Structures are given as structure tokens and as C-alpha cells.
Amino acid sequence: MPFPVKRVHFGNYVFNVWENVYEPAEDSLLFAENLDVEKGSQVLDVGTGCGMLGVLAAEKAGNVVAIDLNPYAVCCARENAALNNLRCKLAFIQTDLLTALNESARFDLILLMHRISLLLSVKRNLGLGAHGQEALMDGKLSTASSPKLHYT
């Protein structure tokens, strides 16, 4: 297990950030400050990095699945979940965008911090249709049957 390069604090939470793992920046902190997770919801954290958003979501969520292509990020995020006493509410998968997920997997909330072009690709994979594309361009989803996407 590598030593943390940096330690990031957010409220009562602490996160070790390993070398070769994305360090939360201003956009991540803004996202975290505005994170709205419904109690008991199923959450997918895409590109989890050090796991900050997934860990914060796990406080209220029923379950969080955190995925990242970077194997160091997956290990770092797993360690941070344990560090914040939320390990039992998170599952971690090393994978590219959504490939390793079971087709029957359903999420109430998808956390994703990427460019809009990637969001539109995800929108197609989630079957949100034209209305979903318009909503994504506005930064929100308004259909009740679609998961909420929070991004910056």
C-alpha cells in the first residue's frame, strides 16, 4: 500500500490521495458541497479517483458502486472508504466506463465529472433519449424515471 502523497479534508471526512490518483480540485469540492443524495438510494460513482464523492454519497445512500480505470485509484478509494468508516456501503470495480457493470444494474444517482461529450455518450447508453440530451445540456435531468446526473 503506497503512502499518501497528500491528505484532503472535507468537513468531518479525510481522504488520502496517492501518487497517480486524481487529487480533488475546486470542481470536486464544489460538486461535493452540492451533492444531493436521497436516503437509501443506489449510487454509481464513475471515475471515483480517491473516492471522495462516493464516500460522501455513502453516508445517505443504500449502496455505492465506485468505478475507475486506474487500479491505484480503486485501491486508494477503497482505503478512504475504510478510513471514513463507510467501507461496508461501497463496492469498487476497476473498469473503463460502465463496461464491467451488469446490464440489469440500476442506479438512482450517477456521479460523473467529465466533459459534456462524454456525458452525451453515457446518456445514449442509459437510454435517456432526446429529452435526456436536452436536460444534460442544462446540467440536470428532469425525468422521474431517469437517474440524476451531477456534474461540473
CATH superfamily of 1-20+31-113: Vaccinia Virus protein VP39 (3.40.50.150)
Q: How is residue 151 written as a grid cell?
A: 456534474
Sequence ranges of the domains in the chain: 1-20+31-113, 114-152
Q: What's the pTM?
A: 0.74
User: Which of 128, 125, 133, 119 minimizes the C-alpha distance to 147?
Assistant: 128
- pLDDT per residue of the chain (152 residues) written in tens, 0 to 9: 666 689 999 999 999 999 999 888 888 888 888 888 999 999 999 999 999 999 999 999 999 999 999 999 999 999 999 999 999 999 999 998 767 788 888 889 989 876 443 444 444 445 444 444 433 333 333 222 334 434 33
Q: Is the separation of the CB atoms in 45 and 111 below 8 Å?
A: yes
